[in-house]
């Protein structure tokens, strides 16, 4: 009997061993897989168990966290949500994150190992730290000016600092309040479907995620290519341009909005925005050099990130000469985001150098230490400095006596270019009003701001949409706001 | 305080008892109360810890009563048939009551739900021990002749009777009450005791065969049990089907979240398991918040408890006492294995209370009764023989069995 008791005891020991081995399997071997299972809510609970870090504009947070006391405890709140939505995006407990809330999620949610006081240990421990803050490059005054300038009309504004690439304003209208998507209740689902069904697409970030035909504002690029290529050597020498201009290889006649474009020199053509002259210049420069210049400005770059990705602005390189002529005046397949056109203006203002634009100045720990700083951004030479100087002259003329007088600011040098872009099938859509510009205060050593404004369907009653009429005042307000608040506080 | 009173009772009436049994019981019971209270914090409307404390007190009181009044365990042998009748009555009682969550094992009396099957365990252990102690040689002899000489021949009906009866009871419990765990426990208990009493592996083979046939049949035919088996084979099937995690996957998530050292008490989210988080799945809370380290410690505590039970069985001389000690220890061992294996995905999940840890009054009272009986038995074993002489005393019987084995 004793032997059998021992056998039975041994059997129990086997059971115990099986339990221990299995516990080790579940808790150690399989643990990471179970932890990552989508149905496991622990990650989610931990994520919302602490206040999310904030996004800062001019040192003040434009976001916040609300303690709901629910299972998923902290919910995102936004101050001036619609105004900053194209920058912050939303942070929803149901629908995830977008834009800065998405790209900076590691810092905001506290999972970035760099938040640890001892980064190597942090990387190994994969812990969660108090959420860090994201300091943006935005200037609150400029953002407000742009948002109020659009006043709910469909359109977008992008402003950058030419010498650094800092994005000073990024506005898209109509916008939405991201805080309606923060939580996890049924109202969030309703808001989500309402926003997605809205024909005005309030969640579309028009400043960086939508491309428009740039129209006449693209003539800045064409002019730069023509000057760099030596097709035009003197701004005041008459070009041999017929009016109307017959597109090469076709019988289509290209006309101008204003009279007197026949054979005008580049200076006048730019000031009056003569389509005929720039179409012919584009053809003379040739597709390769046009594409090279456009590429140097940032067109055809699918990888631009600010840090969230920016839609690719395009300049079609597989075109015949007629299509090239149209491309050179910002039609056909030429498309640009408002941010891209702000970069074009910035390149002119910055001696031909294009700085890659960025939104995040620094990320900081909850305690205040810097996690990462933006540092110097990559730079490209879009045109020769002498060409940039000539273009500055041309753009200043536009504001002084051409189509862009609405952008004039006392006490500052302002250069700009208007644009009215046809679009839609057979150009049936309401044209887009464009204005790109830059400004330098009389006491500044360099241009402080470059802006691009697009208004999709300005006042339909006025019959005619023009960049000078609808977009230029907004650009002026933004530039004034930047010039006034300079020198900007360096944080 | 309770522990102190219980300790005094042991010192008074069972001074030579195994010194580990009571502390292990107190420790596990206390840990259970802590874990239940910790889960109460997340379910404000449903406080289980006070009730559990009342039941624990009752359990300790029963423990003291048993230790004080039961002077000699052999008295129980006389009440074997009373025990089995009472056990069967308790087992069948819940059939009259409505089923709860697919199992019909509760009765409700004055606001308390009681699981009579829990008490039946101890009574059945007493009965088995008494019956087998009385008929041991007959069973062994008959079994040896029939199985030894002609293995294909079944044992005589007279000897086969009990095992068929207990098999029928197990399956009956399984089908009528849909309680896979209890039937497994009863059957396992019987097979272990039968083996210990007779040493005939033939019985084990017959028993396992019957169990396998019964389990497969029920597993295929009974939807509730079939569902449990499917859950065990594919714990995440419901997630893949888009229906969210079931309890077993939530339990596995909890264990996984604990990792090696646990999240710390109160910092886990095992409440996500939902229903039965405080009872059947209490181990998941231990696993998540105390980690593999804490879980292993708990397992080893049970292991120690069982080991002390078996050691008591080895040290005793009378067959009834030996079988009773082994039986009681096996109840604990099997129960821990069935439920712990269930919630960690080792075997199909069956609803059962983790001894001492889980919320459940009947269970905690029963476990205190088990510990009380083991205390009584170990006191007998150690006071009469002295601890070191246990092996010595066992030698003659061992010799005889080895003899029998050799003859076979």
A101: buried, middle or exposed (CB in 10 Å: 19+, 13-18, 0-12)? Answer: buried
Neighbours of B86 (CB within 10 A): 18
What ranges in B17-115 are assigned the alpha helix state H?
21-40, 49-69, 75-78, 80-92
Chain B, window 189-218: residues with a beta carbon less than 8 angstroms from a chain A beta carbon: 192, 195-197, 199
* Average pLDDT rounded to a whole number, residues A440-448: 89
CA distance linking residue B335 with residue B338, whole number of Å: 5
User: How many residues are there in chain B?
Assistant: 408
State the catalytic residues of A. Answer: 216
pLDDT at A427: 63
Chain A, window 40-79: residues with a beta carbon less than 8 angstroms from a chain B beta carbon: 40-42, 45
CA distance linking residue B330 with residue B190, whole number of Å: 10
Q: Which residues pair with A417 in a beta bridge?
A: A436
pLDDT at B391: 42
Residue scoring higher pLDDT (A43 or A123): A43
pLDDT at A459: 53
pLDDT at A55: 93
Q: Touching check for A9 and chain B: CB below 8 Å?
A: yes
pLDDT at B248: 84
* A325 in Cβ contact with A247 (< 8 Å): yes
Q: Where are the beta strands (DSSP E) in A249-293?
A: 253-254
Instruction: Place A71 in a pLDDT band, splitting at 50, 70 and 90.
Output: confident
A29-33, A76-80, A311-315, A316-320: least confident range: A29-33
Task: List per-residue pLDDT tens for chain B, 408 residues long.
Answer: 677 777 777 777 777 777 888 889 989 999 999 988 888 888 777 778 888 888 888 888 888 888 888 878 888 888 877 887 788 778 777 777 766 665 666 676 656 677 777 888 888 888 888 888 887 776 666 544 444 444 434 455 565 666 667 667 766 766 666 677 777 788 788 888 888 887 777 767 777 787 777 777 777 777 777 777 788 888 887 777 766 778 888 888 888 888 888 887 877 777 777 777 777 888 888 888 888 999 999 999 999 999 999 999 888 888 888 899 999 999 999 999 988 998 888 888 877 788 888 888 888 999 999 999 998 888 888 876 544 444 444 444 443 443 333 333
CA distance linking residue A152 with residue B261, whole number of Å: 55
pLDDT at B317: 84
Question: B73 phi and psi, to 5 degrees?
Answer: -65, -20
CA distance linking residue A435 with residue A236, whole number of Å: 24
* Average pLDDT rounded to a whole number, residues A334-352: 94
Q: To the nearest whole angstrom, how far is the Cα of A119 from the nearest Cα of chain B?
A: 22
Q: To the nearest whole angstrom, how far is the Cα of A26 from the nearest Cα of chain B?
A: 6
Structural domains of chain A, with CATH: 209-363+375-485 (3.40.710.10)
Residue A208 in this model has a pLDDT that exceeds 80 = yes
- b/e code A235-272 from CB counts within 10 Å (16+ = b): beeebebebebebeeeeeebebeeeebbebbbbbbbbb
CA distance linking residue A336 with residue A327, whole number of Å: 12
Predicted-complex ipTM score: 0.82
Task: Nearest by CB to A18, from B329, B346, B402: name it.
Answer: B346
* Average pLDDT rounded to a whole number, residues A307-327: 91
Residues of A in contact with B302 (CB under 8 A): 16
pLDDT at A232: 87
Q: Touching check for A34 and chain B: CB below 8 Å?
A: yes
Closest of B332, B334, B326 to residue B394, by C-alpha: B326
Q: How far is CA B5 from CA B12, B56, B62, B272, B375, in A?
A: 10, 13, 12, 38, 15
pLDDT at A488: 45
CA distance linking residue B56 with residue B26, whole number of Å: 10
User: Angle A386-A392-A395 (CA atoms, 0-180°, nearest 5)?
Assistant: 145
Chain B, window 20-59: residues with a beta carbon less than 8 angstroms from a chain A beta carbon: none
Residues of chain A with pLDDT > 70, as a percent, come to: 94
Q: Which residues pair with A355 in a beta bridge?
A: A379
Model pTM greater than 0.95? no
* B337 in Cβ contact with B354 (< 8 Å): no
Instruction: Place A346 in a pLDDT band, splitting at 50, 70 and 90.
Output: very high
Question: B260 phi and psi, to 5 degrees?
Answer: -75, -40
Closest of A358, A329, A364 to residue A346, by C-alpha: A358
pLDDT at B159: 59
User: How many residues are there in chain A?
Assistant: 491
Closest of A136, A101, A8 to residue A488, by C-alpha: A136
Q: Which residues contact A108 (CB under 8 A, 6 or more apart)?
A: A52, A53, A54, A55, A91, A101, A131, A132, A133, A134
pLDDT at B149: 43
* Average pLDDT rounded to a whole number, residues A252-272: 85
Query: For residue range A131-144, what is the model confidence (pLDDT) as tens digits?
Result: 889 999 999 999 99
Task: Nearest by CB to B402, from A3, A18, A35: name it.
Answer: A3
Closest of A404, A265, A271, A282 to residue A331, by C-alpha: A282
Pairing of strands A55-57, A133-136: parallel
Q: Touching check for B408 and chain A: CB below 8 Å?
A: no
The answer to whether the Cβ–Cβ distance between A42 and B291 falls below 8 Å is: no
Task: Nearest by CB to B337, from A19, A33, A34: name it.
Answer: A19
């Amino acid at each position: 009997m004793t032997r059998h008791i021992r056998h039975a005891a041994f059997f129990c020991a086997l059971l115990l061993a099986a339990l221990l081995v299995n516990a080790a399997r579940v808790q150690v071997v399989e643990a990471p897989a179970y932890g990552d299972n989508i149905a496991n809510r622990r990650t989610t609970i931990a994520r919302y168990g602490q206040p999310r870090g904030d996004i800062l504009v001019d040192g003040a947070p434009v976001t916040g966290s609300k303690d709901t006391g629910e299972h998923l405890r902290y919910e995102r709140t936004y101050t001036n949500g619609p105004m900053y939505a194209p920058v912050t995006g939303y942070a929803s407990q149901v629908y995830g994150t977008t834009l800065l809330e998405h790209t900076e999620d590691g810092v905001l949610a506290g999972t970035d190992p760099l938040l640890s006081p001892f980064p190597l240990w942090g990387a190994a421990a994969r812990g969660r730290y108090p959420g860090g803050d994201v300091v943006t490059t935005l200037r609150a005054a400029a953002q407000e000016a742009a948002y109020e300038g659009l006043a709910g009309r469909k359109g977008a504004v992008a402003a950058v600092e030419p010498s650094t690439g800092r994005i000073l304003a990024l506005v898209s209208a109509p916008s939405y309040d991201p805080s309606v998507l923060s939580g996890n209740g049924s109202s969030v689902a309703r808001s989500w479907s309402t926003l997605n069904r809205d024909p005005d697409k309030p969640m579309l970030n028009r400043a960086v995620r939508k491309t428009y035909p740039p129209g006449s504002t693209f003539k800045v690029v064409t002019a730069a290519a023509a000057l760099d290529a030596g097709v035009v050597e003197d701004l005041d020498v008459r070009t041999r341009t017929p009016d109307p201009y017959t597109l090469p290889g076709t019988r289509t006649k290209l006309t101008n909005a204003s009279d007197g474009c026949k054979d005008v020199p580049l200076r006048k053509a730019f000031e009056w925005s003569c389509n005929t002259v720039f179409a012919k210049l584009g053809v003379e420069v040739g597709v390769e050099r046009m594409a090279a210049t456009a590429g140097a400005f940032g067109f055809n770059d699918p990888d631009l990130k600010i840090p969230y990705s920016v839609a690719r602005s395009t300049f079609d390189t597989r075109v015949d000469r007629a299509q090239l002529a149209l491309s050179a005046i910002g039609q056909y397949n030429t498309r640009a985001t408002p941010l891209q056109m702000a970069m074009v203006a910035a390149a002119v203002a910055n001696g031909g150098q294009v700085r890659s634009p960025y939104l995040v100045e620094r990320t900081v720990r909850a305690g205040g230490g810097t996690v990462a700083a933006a540092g110097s951004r990559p730079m490209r030479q879009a045109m020769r400095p002498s060409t940039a100087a000539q273009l500055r002259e041309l753009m200043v003329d536009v504001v002084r006596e051409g189509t862009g007088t609405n952008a004039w600011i006392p006490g500052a040098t302002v250069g700009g270019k208007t644009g009215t872009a046809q679009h839609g099938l057979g150009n049936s859509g309401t044209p887009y009003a464009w204005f790109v510009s830059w400004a330098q205060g009389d006491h500044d050593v360099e241009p402080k701001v470059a802006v691009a404004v697009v208004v999709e369907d300005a006042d339909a009653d006025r019959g005619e949409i023009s960049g000078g009429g609808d977009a230029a005042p907004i650009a002026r307000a933004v530039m004034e706001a930047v010039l006034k608040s300079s020198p900007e506080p360096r944080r | 305080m309770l522990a102190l009173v219980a300790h005094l009772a042991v010192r008074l009436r069972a001074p030579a008892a195994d010194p580990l049994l009571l502390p292990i019981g107190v420790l596990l019971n206390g840990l259970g109360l802590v874990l239940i209270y910790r889960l109460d914090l997340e379910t404000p409307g449903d406080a289980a810890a006070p009730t559990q404390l009342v039941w624990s007190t009752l359990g300790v009181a029963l423990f003291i009563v048993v230790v004080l009044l039961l002077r000699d365990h052999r008295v129980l042998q006389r009440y074997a048939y009373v025990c089995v009748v009472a056990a069967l009555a308790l087992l069948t009682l819940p059939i009259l009551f409505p089923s709860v969550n697919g199992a019909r094992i509760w009765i409700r009396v004055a606001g308390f739900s009681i699981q009579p099957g829990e008490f039946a365990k101890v009574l059945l252990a007493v009965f088995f021990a008494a019956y087998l102690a009385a008929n041991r040689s007959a069973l062994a002899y008959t079994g040896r002749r029939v199985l030894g000489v002609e293995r294909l021949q079944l044992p005589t009906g007279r000897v086969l009777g009990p095992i068929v009866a207990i098999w029928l009871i197990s399956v009956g419990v399984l089908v009528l009450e849909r309680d896979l765990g209890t039937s497994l426990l009863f059957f396992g208990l019987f097979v272990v005791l039968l083996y210990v009493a007779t040493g005939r592996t033939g019985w084990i083979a017959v028993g396992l065969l019957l169990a396998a046939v019964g389990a497969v049949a029920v597993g295929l035919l009974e939807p509730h049990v079939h569902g449990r088996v499917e859950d065990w084979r594919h714990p995440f099937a419901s997630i893949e089907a888009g229906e969210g995690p079931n309890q077993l996957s939530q339990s596995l998530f909890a264990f996984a979240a604990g990792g090696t050292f646990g999240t710390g008490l109160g910092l886990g989210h095992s409440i996500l398991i939902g229903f039965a988080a405080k009872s059947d799945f209490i181990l998941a809370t231990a696993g998540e918040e105390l980690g593999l380290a804490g879980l292993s410690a708990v397992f080893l505590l049970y292991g120690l408890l069982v080991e002390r039970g078996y050691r008591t069985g080895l040290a005793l001389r009378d067959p009834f006492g030996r079988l009773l000690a082994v039986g009681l220890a096996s109840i604990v061992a099997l129960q821990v294995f069935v439920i712990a294996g269930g919630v960690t995905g080792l075997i199909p999940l069956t609803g059962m209370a983790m001894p001492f840890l889980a919320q459940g009054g009947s269970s905690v009272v029963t476990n205190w009764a088990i510990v009380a009986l083991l205390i009584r038995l170990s006191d007998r074993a150690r006071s009469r023989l002295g601890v070191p002489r246990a092996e010595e005393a066992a030698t003659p019987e061992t010799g005889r069995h080895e003899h029998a084995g050799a003859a076979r």
